[in-house]
Amino acid sequence: MRINKFIAHAGVASRRKAEELIKQGLVTVNGQVITDLATTIKSGDRVEVEGTPIYNEEKVYYLLNKPRGVISSVSDEKGRQTVIDLLPQVKERIYPVGRLDWDTSGVLILTNDGDFTDEMIHPRNEIDKVYVARVKGVANKENLRPLTRGVVVDGKKTKPAVYEILKVDPVKGRSVVQLTIHEGRNHQVKKMFEAVGLPVDKLSRTRFGNLDLTGLRPGEARRLNKKDISKLHELAVRQK
């Protein structure tokens, strides 16, 4: 098995991230630093990443209702609470699939399956990600229409999105809008709304593919079953 695949299967990181770790000289095999991405791991080889031995684990998948104020990371150098802290019963080395901002709540998948992670976050797979945003301003068809054609964010045009106006309060000058996108760029939803003059006041991801928050209170998680994972895989394959 190639070294990047072995690392991904051990739940340390996705294959892409594993390649970065290898190039940085942070991976050893039988005590020797390796930087060749073509390195093959054989039975009995001792693999360490940043000095920590790694082993293949059972693949596990969890759906978390991420609360606001929690970091979408395995650890935080500032000592802030992370999504991993919310699942103390999980023994496997899981990590979040993509990220939600510190002040964004909602659907977040965690796993130790690197191949699955790559499949879920690759742009070509265009899996629906549904957000509900409370924005400052009065939302209407005129100011939201650019989102359906794509707006320029950080110098690159977004793919067309689908919106639904859920509530408008002209007195307070606020609106609630549902937005469905297929990408996952940094702060993308907030920047898309800013581009049409509706800065986000509060944001939650309510659905990822076939998964929603039914039955989960903020901070709660459930283990995904084979049916859940198969459906996500089908959604990804359908877009290829």
The CATH number of the domain holding residue 94 is 3.30.70.580
Angle between helix 114-121 and 226-238 (nearest 10): 40
Residues 133 and 203 in one domain: yes
Backbone angles phi, psi at 224, to 5 degrees: -80, 145
What gap in Å lies between CA 120 and CA 236, rounded to an integer? 7
Please tell me the predicted confidence (pLDDT) of residue 238: 66
Cβ 30 vs Cβ 45: under 8 Å? yes
| 108 and 72 co-located in one domain | yes
Tokens encoding 159: 């793919």
Separation CA 195–CA 191 (nearest Å): 6
Percent of the chain with pLDDT over 90: 72
108, 84 in Cβ contact below 8 A?
A: no
Q: Read off the amino acid at residue 158.
A: T
* Mean model confidence pLDDT for the chain: 92
| Confidence class for position 240, pLDDT limits 50, 70, 90 | low
User: Band of the pLDDT at 17, cuts 50, 70, 90?
Assistant: confident
Among left, alpha and beta (phi > 0; psi -120 to 50; other), residue 88 is: alpha
Q: How confident is the model at residue 200 (pLDDT cuts 50, 70, 90)?
A: very high
Mean pLDDT of 18-26: 93
Residue for token pair 């080395």: 93
Lowest mean pLDDT among 61-70, 154-163, 180-189, 212-221: 180-189
pLDDT of residue 88: 92
Q: What is the pLDDT of residues 132-174, one digit of tens each?
A: 999 999 999 999 999 999 999 999 999 999 999 999 999 999 9
Catalytic annotation on 45? no
Which residue type is seen at 5?
K
Say what the pLDDT of residue 129 is. 95
Distance CA 143, CA 157 (A): 17
| 40/69 same-domain check | no
User: How far apart are the C-alpha atoms of 235 and 113, rounded to whole Å?
Assistant: 17
Q: Higher-confidence residue: 191 or 98?
A: 191
pLDDT at 160: 95
The active-site residue, picked from 101, 115, 201, 228, is 101
Give pLDDT, residue 126: 78
Q: Which pair of structure tokens corresponds to residue 129?
A: 């990600």
Same domain, 73 and 143: no
Based on the domain organization, do 203 and 233 belong to the same domain? no
Using DSSP's 3-state secondary structure scheme, residue 81 falls into coil
CATH number at residue 168: 3.30.70.1560
Check if the beta carbon of residue 78 is closer than 8 Å to that of residue 71: no
Closest CA to 212 of 96, 130, 92, 114: 130
pLDDT tens for 59-84 read 899 999 999 999 999 888 899 999 99
The pLDDT of residue 199: 98
Indicate whether 151 and 197 sit together in one domain: yes
Shared-domain flag, residues 73 and 114: yes
